[in-house]
């Protein structure tokens, strides 16, 4: 939760998952700047994209090369801005067979809503080195629509207590521009805790038709895991409730005792084996006894 509280708006309102919760209009100017270190990179060069915000934000960088989208060139293309409100993504440029233009798209999420950045840079193979132009700046655009939030809360069945922790996946979609769409999961540590039967928590401001999917990564005590919950952002803020049912009690049946059969006698282990000669002797004694009784009666 402390991580989300870092994502504060300039006005001091709470951050991305402790946000405004209602709808807000976009700002006329962007609170972000960004730079692509190499305007033209050679295969094997170290490329770097830096984004600086006026306040804390969650940044997601996508680079499209030859039609394939990569997460900022590396697995580190998504993260929070640091203490200086800056996020850097750096990676080694992979091989290309011919001169190629890479497209950079940046998504910034803060309490004020979503802002996007755009830029390009060239990639040349080692056999066709390029000149070294100055760094290229990212161009920023506010999302030209009212962005909406909402709230989410957790209810728990009797016997379930504590806090459940959820990992959010964002699917951002701007209805008026097909290029403005992306999906990414929040980085490790950026989670949403919800207390059993506790207060509602605010959701970030996103364009309508966007979604947030909450995956329960840590269960409340005694709870069964809730299915992933996908919240669709509408034109007005709403409240979503996630319930944790009590985990089913698993009982282990008592096993039925099984007699152990001894291979030598074929008798159950609980019944001592009686030798056949002894059985014959018992039979003779019984017959003799019966004859004696008959003689006495006669």
Predicted pLDDT of residue 177 = 86
> pLDDT tens digits for 102-156?
999 999 998 889 999 999 999 999 898 888 778 899 999 888 888 999 999 999 9
If you average pLDDT over residues 242-251, what whole number do you get?
84
If you average pLDDT over residues 199-212, what whole number do you get?
94
Find out whether 70 and 33 touch, Cβ atoms under 8 Å.
no
CA dihedral 201, 190, 246, 211 (to 10 degrees): 70
Given a cut of 60, whether residue 265 has pLDDT beyond it is: no
DSSP lists the bridge partners of residue 46 as 92
Helices (H), 168-226: none
When comparing pLDDT for 73 and 284, which is higher? 73
**Residue 157 CB contacts under 8 Å (≥ 6 apart), including other chains:** 223, 243, 244, 245, 246
Q: Which of 84-93, 184-193, 253-262 is predicted least confidently?
A: 253-262
Structural domains of the chain, ranges and CATH numbers in brackets = 27-142 (2.60.40.1940), 147-244 (2.60.40)
Predicted pLDDT of residue 32 = 93
How many whole angstroms separate alpha carbon 232 and alpha carbon 283?
A: 89
DSSP 277: H
Given a cut of 70, whether residue 47 has pLDDT beyond it is: yes
pLDDT, the chain, mean: 80
């Amino acid at each position: 939760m402390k991580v989300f509280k870092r994502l504060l708006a300039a006005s001091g309102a709470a951050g991305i998952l402790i946000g405004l919760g209602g709808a807000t209009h976009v700002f006329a100017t962007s609170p972000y700047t960004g730079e692509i270190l190499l305007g033209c990179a050679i295969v094997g060069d170290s490329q770097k994209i830096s984004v600086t915000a006026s306040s804390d934000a969650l940044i997601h960088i996508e680079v499209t090369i030859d039609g394939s989208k990569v997460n900022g060139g590396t697995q580190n293309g998504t993260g929070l801005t640091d203490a200086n409100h800056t996020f850097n993504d750096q990676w080694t440029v992979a091989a290309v067979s011919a001169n190629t233009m890479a497209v950079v798209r940046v998504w910034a999420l803060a309490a004020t809503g979503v802002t996007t950045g755009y830029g390009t840079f060239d990639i040349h193979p080692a056999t066709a080195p390029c000149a070294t132009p100055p760094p290229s700046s990212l161009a920023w655009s506010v999302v030209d629509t009212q962005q909406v939030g909402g709230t989410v809360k957790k209810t728990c069945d009797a016997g379930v207590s504590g806090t459940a922790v959820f990992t959010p996946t964002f699917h951002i979609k701007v209805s008026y521009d097909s290029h403005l769409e992306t999906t990414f999961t929040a980085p490790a540590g950026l989670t949403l805790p919800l207390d059993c039967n506790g207060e509602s928590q605010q959701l970030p401001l996103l364009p309508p038709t966007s979604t947030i999917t909450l995956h329960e990564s840590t269960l409340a005590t005694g709870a069964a895991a809730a299915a992933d919950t996908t919240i669709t952002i509408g034109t007005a803020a709403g409240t979503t409730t996630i319930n944790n049912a009590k985990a089913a009690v698993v009982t282990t049946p008592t096993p039925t005792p099984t007699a152990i059969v001894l291979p030598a006698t074929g008798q159950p282990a609980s019944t001592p084996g009686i030798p056949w000669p002894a059985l014959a002797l018992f039979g003779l004694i019984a017959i003799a006894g019966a004859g004696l009784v008959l003689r006495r009666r006669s």
